[in-house]
Amino acid sequence: MNFLGVVFDGIAYGSLLFLISVGLSITLGLMNVVNLAHGAFAMFGGYCSVWLTAAWGLPFLWTLPLVCLAGAAVGALAERLLYQRLYRASHLDQVLFSIGLTFMAVAVATYFWGPTQQRVELPAFLRGQARVLGLDLGVYRSFLVGLVVLISVALTGLIEHTRFGAQLRAAVDNQQVSAGLGIPVQRVFCLAFALGSALAALGGALGIELLGLEPSFALEYLVYFLLVVSVGGAGSVRGTAFAALALGLCDVAGKYYVPELGAFVIYALMIVLLMLFPAGLRGRRA
């Protein structure tokens, strides 16, 4: 395969990493909650999509907005009932709580859907490969790349150029002063958490086709979420995108050119990047 093919596959894989991790970049990065249950929210999105297609006969693409809404609703609920109690708790408490929540989610998913994997039916126009300029490009992969561009532009705009974004950044930096200035801190946090959960759910649904969906999903890909967010730098959408693309490219290139070492490339790169940029590529708290 020529070099360009590797680059495309790398970008596509990086896009997938971005989609499943960007929600965590918001909850962990912006809100400073170590939310190891991110995978559970992603898995919830995946199962929602499967359920909507199976029980309601909705086409896969139509389930995506509904999955986002459901993810946001569950996220907001979880924030109000559970996570808000942990904002001032130590990181260890947050870790223990959220990993516990993850195990519960795994058990619940097994109870309702059984331990076997689930699948979704892609529409015909998203399947197979298309030939563009002499390159065979996976159609679904291209679709993911496009979505990533859309989502990262929209998110960056939201966080950096809107009133809500400003309020959120202020509230994260100093809750008391923000509250004193009249920012509805609680509501802002709740909305931000809902946003992160919605993105997690969306990533989970979009990932089914490539990663599959089983109850252990919530744990299996946790390493990748954390890897992307820690390399990207807490709370930066652009950093997350850079990190996901860099890791995706190197992973695919490594696996293609040196398959004996392929699996380690992504971790080696993480070590190097974190040594060079301890706060992540675009870390705010350097």
Partner 1 sequence: MTAIKLWWSVFSWGGAGKPRLCSRGAGLGLGLLFAGLLGACESKKAEPAAGAAPSSEPAAAAVVAPIKIGLIAPFSGPFAGAGKQIEGGVRAYLDVHGSKVSGREIELLVKDVTGVAPDVAKSLAQGLIVRDNVDFLAGFVLTPNALAVAPLATEAKKPMVIMNAATSVITTKSPYVVRVSFTLPQVSAPLATWAAKNGIKSVYTLVSDYAPGADAEGQFKKTFEAAGGKVVDSVRVPVQNPDFAPYIQRIKDAKPEAVFIFVPAGAQGTAFLKAFQERGLAKQGIQVIATGDVTEDQELGAMGDAALGVVTTHHYSAAHDSPENTAFKQAFAKVTGGKVRPNFMAVGGYDGMAAIARVVEKLGGKLDGDRAMAAFKGLELDSPRGHIRIDPETRDVVQTVYVRKVEQRPDGLYNVEFDHFDEQKDPGKPPPSP
* Residues of the shown chain interacting with partner 1 in the complex, contacts defined by CB under 8 A: 1, 5-6, 9, 12-13, 16, 99, 103, 106-107, 110, 114-119, 121, 127-129, 136, 138, 140-141, 209-217, 219-224, 251-253, 255-256, 259-260, 262-263
In whole angstroms, the minimum distance from the beta carbon of 148 to partner 1 comes to 15
Q: Which is nearer to partner 1, 262 or 277 (CB)?
A: 262
Smallest gap from Cβ 64 to partner 1, in A, equals 19
* Minimum gap (Å) between residue 142 Cβ and partner 1: 12
Q: Which is nearer to partner 1, 13 or 189 (CB)?
A: 13
Phi, psi of 284 (to 5 degrees): -90, -30
Q: 55 or 286, CB closer to partner 1?
A: 55
Q: Tell me the closest approach of the beta carbon of residue 248 to partner 1, in angstroms.
A: 8
Q: How far is the CB of 182 from partner 1 (least distance, A)?
A: 43
Please choose, from the candidates 236, 262, 17, 58, the residue with its C-alpha nearest in 3D space to the C-alpha of residue 148.
Answer: 17
Q: Give 16 or 74: the residue with its C-beta nearer to partner 1.
A: 16
Q: Tell me the C-alpha distance between 276 and 203, whole Å.
A: 29
**In this complex, which beta carbon is closest to partner 1, that of residue 15 or of residue 178?**
15
Report the candidate in 247, 273, 156, 197 with the shortest Cα–Cα distance to residue 31: 197
- The region that residue 105 occupies, defined by phi over 0 for left and psi between -120 and 50 for alpha, beta otherwise, is alpha
Whole-number Å distance between alpha carbons of 200 and 35: 11
254 versus 283: smaller Cβ distance to partner 1:
254
Residue 32 or 117 with smaller CB distance to partner 1: 117
Nearest distance from residue 87's CB to partner 1, in Å? 24
Least separation in angstroms between residue 118's CB and partner 1 is 6
> Cα–Cα distances in Å, from 31 out to 46, 87, 171, 172, 255?
24, 8, 9, 6, 35
If the CB atoms of residues 127 and 285 are measured against partner 1, the closer one turns out to be 127
How near is the Cβ of 79 to partner 1 at its closest, in Å? 24
First-to-final CA distance of the chain: 40
Phi, psi of 183 (to 5 degrees): -80, 130
